[in-house]
Structure 1
Amino acid sequence: MPSTVSCGCDSHASICDFRACPKVGRDKGKIRVSSEQDPPPTRIRGGEAVKTALIDAAAEMLGEIGPSHISVREIAERAGVNHGQVHHYFGGKRPLLEAAMKQLAHGHFEYARMLTGDSIFPPALSLSQDSNYWRAISHIAMDGDLDLARIEIDEGVSVPRLTLKKLRTKTAGEMDDLVVKARLAGVAALQLGWVAFEDYLLMAVDAHEEEDRETLLAEVKKSIENAIVQAFD
């Protein structure tokens, strides 16, 4: 006698063999039951709401995996919409990823400018407060997708480019432009390297206790600030 379960399936009687039912039994070792009382899946309605949900989902996923590993279906599932909406509103995955990167870049730029104020550099270690952005940049760079990474430059919202502009004004006639670029790249590498490898580096230097971590972070911040001073003062 086959095991049976009431599943509310429209295709046959309400009592069915759950192993053959299209609505239940899809997960190994689990019986998934649907009924007429179950609410339908939430679906976002309205063109702008759908586009916003897709961009937000794509931006979130860029912070988790490289762009070449993201699928249209995964983005749509994360957004809670049908995958056909990606093609309808964006024409495909690439334009959607570009829109997501624009959103991340603009958000990071405004946040960094707020923190920087009248200074040339954003505060040391402040990049860690915008984790989705730096994770996205890291995954994109490791994927070798520099066209996606340079969107912030094309959009005029690149923090490194703004910093370079300020440094050129500060060092005009005193420092070769190539030296300015090289030293800026070195300082940026310190910032990006720390946020990407912070947990590993703390473990590597045996900073287990919370108070040790706090002291170490303060010293790392000082080190980066000193590197900036030595490079450009």
Structure 2
Amino acid sequence: MNPSKSAPAPARTDVRRALIEATADLLGEVGPKSISVRQIADRAGVNHGQIHHYFQGKRGLLEATLRNLAKDHFEDSLQRSGGDAIPPPLSLSEDRRYFRALCQAVMDDDLDLIRTVDRDHEISVPIRVLRELEGRKPDADPLEVKAIFALGAAMELGWVAFEKLILLIAEVDPEDEEAFRSTIKRLMVERFYPMLG
């Protein structure tokens, strides 16, 4: 290689992927309002102008990143459930990166960012679950169906957010944590899942 020549520019997909990965990490660390274009570019190892080139700015990159995280979560959820629309209990805890990004967006009061995902039945696990419940309970009061959905969502979100605190206040010894998780999953299947129809 000629030493006077610079290294080839990274391929378009590599730059896009690096920007999305860097943004996903930062989104879970500091939230959408606190992330700067320069932080993202530095973390991705690219020029900050690439963000504007590929995503038309920070907002476009944030939306693309959350959609990417949601799509990965959706696919993982389908795999864990064996193709069932309703994921197994506590499965959100298997995808903490997506959860952290959602939490930061909620704490930043950026529900519009979440809406870029949560209105798309192609990649939104909550929308998929809600539609499945509506299909299973066509004659039920729509508010009751939504309440059942909300109970499940609260259990999933609450567990992943407060698992360590729950283990502490429930006085679960570290050697018993896996058995405790298994018991919670079993109880959800036995007691809560029958409400799903």
Deviation at 1:227, TM superposition (A): 4.2
CA distance in 2, matches of 1:83, 1:75: 8
Deviation at 1:79, TM superposition (A): 0.4
Change (3 A) 1:43 1:93: farther
2:125 to 159, 171, 180: 159
One-letter identity of the residue aligned with 2:103: S
4+ long deviations beyond 4 Å: none
1:200 to 145, 156, 165: 165
* Structure 2: runs of 5 or more not aligned: 1-6
Percent identity between matched residues is 44
1:136 match: 101
CA distance in 1, matches of 2:191, 2:108: 29
1:72 match: 37
CA distance in 2, matches of 1:73, 1:152: 25
Q: What SS class does the counterpart of residue 126 from structure 2 fall into?
A: helix
Deviation at 1:118, TM superposition (A): 4.9
Is the 2:105–2:114 contact (alpha carbons within 8 Å) kept by the matching residues of 1?
Answer: yes
Q: What SS class does the counterpart of residue 179 from structure 2 fall into?
A: helix
Is the 1:58–1:97 contact (alpha carbons within 8 Å) kept by the matching residues of 2?
Answer: yes
* Structure 1: runs of 5 or more not aligned: 1-41
One-letter identity of the residue aligned with 1:151: T
Is the 1:44–1:81 contact (alpha carbons within 8 Å) kept by the matching residues of 2?
Answer: no
One-letter identity of the residue aligned with 1:158: S
2:149 match: 184
CA distance in 2, matches of 1:150, 1:134: 15
Q: What SS class does the counterpart of residue 30 from structure 2 fall into?
A: coil
1:61 match: 26
Deviation at 1:93, TM superposition (A): 0.9
Is the 1:67–1:140 contact (alpha carbons within 8 Å) kept by the matching residues of 2?
Answer: yes
Is the 1:66–1:140 contact (alpha carbons within 8 Å) kept by the matching residues of 2?
Answer: yes
1:57-113 CA distances to partner (integer Å, 9 max, x unpaired)?
111222222111111111111101122221222221111101101111111111111
1:94 to 59, 77, 89: 59
CA RMSD of aligned residues (A): 2.0
- Considering only CA atoms, is the larger Rg found in Structure 1 or Structure 2? 1
- How does 1:110-149 map onto structure 2 within 5 Å? 110-149=75-114
Aligned length: 190
Check if 1:223 corresponds to 2:187.
yes
